[in-house]
Amino acid sequence: MQESDYITQFLTYLQTEKRFSDHTLLAYEKELVRWSDYLATEAEVSLFNATLQHAKRFVIWRSKQGITPRSVNRMLSTLRSFYKWGIREGHIGQSPVEHVRSLKTPKKVVMSVPREDLNALFTDEGRFEDDFIGSRDQLMLLLLYGLGLRKSELISLRPTDFDWYRQTVRVIGKRNKERQIPIPKSIASYYDVYMKRRAQLATAKDPELLLTPKGKKLYPQLVYNRVLFYLKGTTTVVDKNPHTLRHSYATHLLNAGVDINTVKELLGHESLSSTQVYTTSTFEELVKVYNQAHPKGS
């Protein structure tokens, strides 16, 4: 069996058993092909003959290419998953990356968008055009912030996911994990305006909630560009992307006293450690507020 066949089998396993997204599968494939090519050209060994020393040299080689420690760690995570699968399938006895330590990475504190900036964004009547795109974009930003959605979750939302009687929305997250999120009452009127304009589209429509004027579902770069466009005119926060709104959702809930385990479930995190990132940023923001407001703060 060729090297590529093992990689294909592993990717099929991730797709069918782990339900990884196409984006994640592509990232895994790129890393594994790069690792396989390195072993073939630099060490003249196969995937399942690689040793700890090969893995360490590969980390050094990738680091010298200028990739960040965070990217190196993602690469190691991919290799660990691959060799864990390889051991279970009987292709190898021990993983060559088992004892390779992840690199230390600096903690990145992502600041949330201040409430007053978001209020200005959503209440300024001139901010959004009075047409299909304007109503769509306004609802899009409200859903990202009001529900704390990931970009992919927003794109896959359908009108049938909304239960207006119970005021909840059904969201399909990573690995097809389903969760129910309460819908802020303020979203309903914007939803109704958009749906009326959506129904007037002349072209055939995809079943997703948010569409292009041609009736097709949104794509990731479009969502990113639209969020960037509106946040650039609203806030001075450095990070202006869809995840910033999700981050703001989590941070504002924690600042309001919502229990961290509740926020974990609302965000669809599998582990509490993922949610604890927001507690760090919340503390940083509290210090910033203290330094600005307290007479002895600076």
What is d(CA 2, CA 290) in angstroms, rounded to the nearest whole number? 61
Active site residue 269: yes
Q: Which of 62, 150, 151, 198 is catalytic?
A: 150
What is d(CA 6, CA 47) in angstroms, rounded to the nearest whole number? 9
Name which of 151, 154, 188 is nearest 168 in CA terms.
188
Active site residue 179: no
What is d(CA 33, CA 52) in angstroms, rounded to the nearest whole number? 18
Residue 118: strand, helix, or coil: helix
Output phi, psi for 36, to 5 deg.
Answer: -65, -45
Q: Which of 54, 62, 240, 269 is catalytic?
A: 269
Active site residue 19: no
Q: Which of 136, 246, 247, 252 is catalytic?
A: 246
Active site residue 145: no
Active site residue 219: no
The residues pairing with 178 across neighbouring beta strands, listed in sequence order, are 172
Active site residue 174: yes
Q: Which of 191, 230, 249, 278 is catalytic?
A: 278
What is d(CA 26, CA 3) in angstroms, rounded to the nearest whole number? 17
What is d(CA 136, CA 213) in angstroms, rounded to the nearest whole number? 10
Q: Which of 57, 170, 174, 226 is catalytic?
A: 174
Residues noted as catalytic: 150, 174, 243, 246, 269, 278
